[in-house]
């Protein structure tokens, strides 16, 4: 009887994966498949559950990074992700202590903070976007040698 439940779990998990395409439930479908195979040979439900958990988490841990690399490799970065590493112009002096700073990037004004708290970046300077925290750009002044 356990075989039917594992088979149902496989089908449900595969359907979830098909509809979401998020590489989230496929690993558990693999674990359910192994538990299904085990259920054909033994009635020990605890052994089946342990096998399901171990196989699911091993698949999740070892194969997910590889799968994401190959399946999501062509994913386009969203608006804010594409800003990291790009440059902008300081429109208002960036001073973390006083909470001021505005940068112009791709024609849009962004609130900005300096990468180093003690750094003050004057208006008109060119900056590199190092990170994004919430809706604020974390920037550092572009050195002359770059």
Q: Domains of the chain by range and CATH? A: 2-71 (no CATH), 81-141 (2.40.50.140)
Q: What is the DSSP string of 13-81?
A: HHHHHHHH-SSSSHHHHHHHHHHHHHHHH---HHHHHHHHHHHHHHHHHHHHHHHHHHHSTTPPP-TTG
Per-residue pLDDT tens over the stretch 62-101? 887 777 777 665 555 556 667 788 899 999 999 999 999 9
CA distance 34 to 48: 8
> Does pTM surpass 0.85?
no
Given a contact cutoff of 8 angstroms between Cβ atoms, the answer to whether 122 and 90 are in contact is yes
Average pLDDT over residues 8-24: 86
């Amino acid at each position: 009887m356990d075989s039917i439940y594992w088979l149902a779990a496989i089908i449900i998990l595969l359907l979830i994966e098909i509809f979401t395409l998020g590489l989230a439930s496929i690993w558990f479908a693999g674990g359910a498949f192994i538990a299904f195979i085990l259920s054909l040979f033994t009635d020990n439900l605890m052994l089946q559950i342990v096998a399901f958990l171990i196989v699911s988490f091993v698949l999740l841990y070892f194969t997910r990074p590889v799968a994401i690399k190959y399946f999501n490799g062509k994913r386009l970065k969203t608006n804010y992700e594409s800003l990291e590493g790009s440059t902008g112009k300081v429109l208002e002096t960036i001073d973390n202590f006083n909470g001021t700073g505005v940068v112009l990037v791709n024609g849009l004004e962004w609130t900005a903070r300096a990468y180093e708290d003690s750094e003050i970046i004057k208006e008109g300077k060119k900056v590199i976007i190092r990170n994004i925290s919430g809706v604020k750009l974390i920037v550092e002044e572009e050195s002359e040698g770059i």
